[in-house]
Amino acid sequence: MPRLVHDTSTILDAAARLLAAGSADAITIAGVIREAAVSSGSVYHRFPNRAALLAAVWNRAVQRFHAELTPLFADEPVAAAVALGRRTVSWCRDSPADARVLLAGVGSFEPAAWPAESRSLRDADQARWDQHIRRLVTDLKTVTGRPTAEILLVVVDLPYAAVRRYLGADREIPATLEDIVERTIRSALTTPH
Amino acid sequence: MPRLVHDTSTILDAAARLLAAGSADAITIAGVIREAAVSSGSVYHRFPNRAALLAAVWNRAVQRFHAELTPLFADEPVAAAVALGRRTVSWCRDSPADARVLLAGVGSFEPAAWPAESRSLRDADQARWDQHIRRLVTDLKTVTGRPTAEILLVVVDLPYAAVRRYLGADREIPATLEDIVERTIRSALTTPH
DNA sequence: CACCCTCTAGAGATCTGACTCTAGAATGGG
DNA sequence: CCCATTCTAGAGTCAGATCTCTAGAGGGTG
């Protein structure tokens, strides 16, 4: 049994690098072969087709992100919302490649073409995540009295927006951004209205 | 002199429709030909290459957006910020195709490959817009005492984030979103800290 | 040492899409 | 009515990308 010469993560890293240099469609098999210095045989030994490779890139990034954030749901609702926002920012700073993957959105990864295996993996992940979010949203509704759409905007979309400006332009995420995000979340959730 | 049988906007509309159905890379010449029921000769008579077509799609959407919003900078700073946020939401509801173009970001349109003409057109537009934004930001800094990054987050990125959730998933933008955006902007700018 | 079995290398087959090119349709002016 | 000019049609070329296929390298096992 010959050892694996190339690690699968080498290939996924190369793909993520290609994405960072352009869009998700910049992830071509030919490009990965060049970037990872690997033969096409190697790639196709691991992934039946391009869609499966894209799926792996996406799922890996999402799993890492979720692994980092899920513990934070344990806090009190407002504290959890703030912690999620802060951690989203710091995670993006520490894992820019994965962050760029999430920034592109699943839609860029042609999920319609994914093999069943990849799809169910994603579905399971997503279901768990959605459940956490739903629970947090209902808790925040009772605590703050805001409508669902407002809570989603402040808790989910706002940290994403904060980070997008810098990731998209390949600029450093400022050190003060966590504080800014925290202040904005707090004022939006606790201002009387 | 034979009349133009196809309007150029027909071609750009078809391209925008293709983008809405997928990513910006879904805008292929072959696709536009199908979607607009036009021959490749017609397309290449107007646009020297695909990059020029992409540039035209982008620039048209941006010009429409800017035309809609620029008058609003005339207000008092906080009022202007609120009005910009509200109008961004309503514009996206009324012009979903153009909104999807902006949502994709210039990066998707391969600006590096644009002809000089398209590029300078965009640069001029962008410079005018940036000047308005810069002026508004400095005004808001003196009025609210917030740092630049915080103002940009609240004024520029937040309305974008509010709308992204719905445009990206092809869902109706809720009628209450303008109010939600306004409340969030106000509380972020006027809460003492 | 012989034998497997996993993994790799890389040459093509095939497809898709961008772009070129030429013939000609349509219309206004002389 | 003819010509010039503008625009259109669509076949054809070329580049690049996905995927297939076969030969074989490399290391563990009997």
Assigned token pair, A156: 């989910």
Candidates B111, B107, B100; CA nearest to B173 is B100
pLDDT in tens, A52-95: 999 999 999 999 999 999 999 999 999 999 999 999 999 999 99
Assigned token pair, A32: 């990965």
Distance CA A95, CA A157 (A): 19
Contacts of A98 (CB under 8 A, 6+ apart): A16, A60, A61, A64, A65
Assigned token pair, A10: 């080498």
Residue B157 Cα, gap to closest chain A Cα (Å): 6
Maximum pairwise Cα distance, chain A: 68
**Closest residue, chain B, to A25 (C-alpha):** B25
Assigned token pair, B179: 């109010």
Q: Note whether A189 and A81 are within 8 A (CB).
A: yes
Contacts of A159 (CB under 8 A, 6+ apart): A84, A85, A88, A89, A181
> pLDDT exceeding 70 applies to what percent of chain B?
97
pLDDT grade for A128, boundaries at 50, 70 and 90: very high
With a cut of 90, say whether residue B160 has pLDDT above it. yes
**Are B188 and A187 an interchain contact pair (Cβ–Cβ within 8 Å)?**
yes
Check residue A151 and give its pLDDT: 98
Helices (H) and strands (E) in chain B, counts: 10, 0
**Are B152 and A174 an interchain contact pair (Cβ–Cβ within 8 Å)?**
no
Check residue B106 and give its pLDDT: 94
Taking CB atoms and an 8 Å cutoff, what residues of chain A touch B145? Answer: none
Residues B161-166: what's their mean pLDDT?
A: 96
pLDDT in tens, A110-119: 999 999 999 9
With a cut of 60, say whether residue B1 has pLDDT above it. no
Taking CB atoms and an 8 Å cutoff, what residues of chain B touch A181? Answer: 153
Residues A132-159: what's their mean pLDDT?
A: 97
The tokens 């309503």 sit on which residue? Answer: B90
SS3 content of chain A, % helix, strand, coil (to 5): 80, 0, 20
Candidates B92, B73, B169; CA nearest to A156 is B169
| pTM for the structure as a whole | 0.93
Q: Note whether A116 and A50 are within 8 A (CB).
A: no
pLDDT grade for B3, boundaries at 50, 70 and 90: low
Contacts of A109 (CB under 8 A, 6+ apart): A24, A54, A55, A57, A58
pLDDT grade for A21, boundaries at 50, 70 and 90: confident
With a cut of 60, say whether residue B12 has pLDDT above it. yes
**Closest residue, chain A, to B152 (C-alpha):** A162
Check residue A1 and give its pLDDT: 46
